[in-house]
Structure 1
């Protein structure tokens, strides 16, 4: 079983000056990241490192960008905001992150945690995995318990200021990010990210337990009505299409039962098998402007069930034409091993 930090590829350490002591100073690269974000240094961290850094700190990308953009904090203020927002990070996760950056073996506690995932019974059988290989999408049934799904749904209702039995409350207040709800820190969300079945599912699909969990946001997709139309996102990719695309996944966990017409995830199944040939035939067209909606299917699933898809599939939410909103939490896992630089396409 490959372990973090064993790839032989170490990541650069921070060289930005530390002017004030912080309880976060021991976390590799944090001063470089702060200095780069606030325009105080031209030095920046590689993508994989700053992504792991934020997930180690328990922060969402959007909330960091919003805070730094509006406040441009000094180093002390940045550290204080991190702790106020997400609390002190888990020491074991920090130790794992530092070991990965340093290119050394992880602590024994991390090895034990990953070994437990490796030893857990599979959550997908051979037929499931064959279907995954063919279609590039899979549903993990009973990813979390009904109580865990209900607890996260309650958090989401609080964030949108709505009530399940009051349809007019589903549309109240401006939502700058459409159906995306920028909420990242809550014990209910954290429990989901630590679900043993979810960890095992990603390990099976990736073929390794050496993966990092994202700190991702939530989603609230209410039904369309005359004064509210679905704002998107429509079919898209979140990664560069430059070939060959490295393997990657994405995921959405439904917090309530979600029917096909209830704003469910839509995607083009099997597109990973033909994306290269499809790109070659475009003859200069922008691939992101090609309409693939006729080939898309929606993916319904029950409360507490997780849909995972390959990131080379075009995907998006769909218009909600039912009578109930779609409530969901995004999550994903990724490899910490740095890959080659790829131009954006």
Structure 2
């Protein structure tokens, strides 16, 4: 029987993360822990891991056993790639071959898609996964909520994270994470395939009604606005056909150009995150299985669902592995 602790002992940064959050003693790390990249490599959600560490404060064996029970033992190829990146070494041959195969695929975006991306900083990848695959994830989400698609009375159970459903591991959710078509889409936008896929959560946005108002998230940024802002993406996978009034993603298109042209400086010291941009927002409708991708400089958020059916979604992103941004936060 494989010892569930042993595979984790040498993972770069993992013991330091455990020690920092639980306040256990651990050898000092010479560099910051790349938390997001580390957890995505392991197939763990950021929120679930930090919550587990902060609340349970497990010892090291209990933490590594929890990882194995939650996400399984580390994937050998992903671990080898992460270790090489962490150590500043060349990627393993298997990873080089994977990236080359992605780049050799036929393009998934046409000229109109590329023009929209360049102009708006937003693009839709049609049929990132099939409608049947999207429906399977939606069925799983309904089961998590213990809700009935045919019974609106079951759609409004108590939740502590608004429309966000803090669930990260399931075979149906791994289908888009392993989608070659999706990997190609992000490689086209970045210009390379040296990217890692996120382990992110689900979303359930029910219709507004008397007694239930849309809780957000409203327009916001998730990243640091201190220049220079490197290209990074965010993305949402619709699991149901999502019209403009169906709680669709909303964005302020083209805002990356305004940031580059000195918009923040024009505020004369005002907090950019408090500026109301809602009058400039547009919704992004798309079909089940479609992936909406946007630059992270674009203000974005969900919208109030004014239809008669919930919007179901999964967050899936590909991004370059990176160290924590230690610049002043803006």
Unaligned runs of 5+ in 1: 1-19
CA contact (8 A) 2:37 2:322 kept: no
Give the TM-score taking structure 1 as reference length: 0.91
Partner of residue 163, structure 1: 148
Given the alignment, which residue of 192, 214, 218 partners 2:202? Answer: 218
State the alpha-carbon separation in 2 of the partners of residues 316 and 55 from structure 1: 23
2:34 is the alignment partner of 1:49: yes
Q: Structure 1 pair 46/161, CA: closer, same or farther in 2 (3 Å)?
A: farther
Partner of residue 245, structure 1: 229
| SS of corresponding position for 1:171 | coil
| SS of corresponding position for 1:281 | helix
Alignment of 1:200-215 (within 5 A): 200-215=184-199
Deviation at 1:23, TM superposition (A): 2.6
Q: Structure 1 pair 46/160, CA: closer, same or farther in 2 (3 Å)?
A: farther
Q: Structure 1 pair 292/46, CA: closer, same or farther in 2 (3 Å)?
A: farther
Partner of residue 230, structure 1: 214
Partner of residue 123, structure 1: 108
Superposition CA RMSD, Å: 1.7
Given the alignment, which residue of 285, 299, 305 partners 1:314? Answer: 299
State the alpha-carbon separation in 1 of the partners of residues 209 and 245 from structure 2: 14
2:91 is the alignment partner of 1:99: no
Given the alignment, which residue of 295, 298, 314 partners 1:329? Answer: 314
2:272 is the alignment partner of 1:287: yes
Unaligned runs of 5+ in 2: none
Give the TM-score taking structure 2 as reference length: 0.95
Deviation at 1:136, TM superposition (A): 0.3
Alignment of 1:19-168 (within 5 A): 22-41=6-25, 43=28, 49-168=34-153
| SS of corresponding position for 1:89 | coil
2:168 is the alignment partner of 1:184: yes
| SS of corresponding position for 1:300 | coil
CA contact (8 A) 1:136 1:313 kept: yes
| SS of corresponding position for 2:267 | coil
State the alpha-carbon separation in 2 of the partners of residues 242 and 293 from structure 1: 22
CA contact (8 A) 1:33 1:44 kept: no
| SS of corresponding position for 1:23 | helix
1:27-81 superposed Cα distances (whole Å, 9 cap, x missing partner): 2221112111211258468667222210111000000111111100000000000
State the alpha-carbon separation in 2 of the partners of residues 179 and 337 from structure 1: 28
| SS of corresponding position for 2:217 | coil
